[in-house]
């Protein structure tokens, strides 16, 4: 059975106000639950697809800097 995660996420958030959307993002990150990552990925895809080249470059720079200089989590830990 195929499940369209993108469609489901976009359907579930389509009626949210900006404040609700922000709360959902913040709560998802705070919870740190692996099962929420696909939804956050869909949101990042929307941001990426609607960003211009300088904004995309800034996102890549930020990600690269934080990933290469930040603490390395244990992939087998909690």
pLDDT digits (tens, 9 = 90+) for 12-27: 999 999 999 999 999 9
Residue 77 has pLDDT above 80, yes or no: no
Q: pLDDT category, 9, cuts 50, 70, 90?
A: very high
- Prediction pTM value: 0.82
Answer for the pair 66, 58: CB distance below 8 angstroms, yes or no: no
Residue 78 has pLDDT above 90, yes or no: no
C-alpha distance from residue 12 to each of 26, 29, 34 (Å): 16, 18, 19
Cα–Cα distance measured from residue 11 to residue 14, given in angstroms and rounded to the nearest whole number: 5
Average pLDDT over residues 38-49: 96
């Amino acid at each position: 059975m195929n499940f369209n995660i993108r469609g489901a996420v976009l359907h579930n958030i389509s009626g949210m106000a900006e404040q609700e959307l922000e709360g959902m993002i913040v709560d998802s990150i705070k919870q740190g639950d692996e099962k929420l990552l696909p939804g956050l990925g869909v949101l990042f895809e929307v941001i990426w697809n609607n960003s211009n080249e300088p904004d995309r470059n800034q996102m890549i720079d930020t990600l690269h800097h934080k990933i290469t200089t930040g603490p390395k989590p244990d992939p087998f830990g909690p």
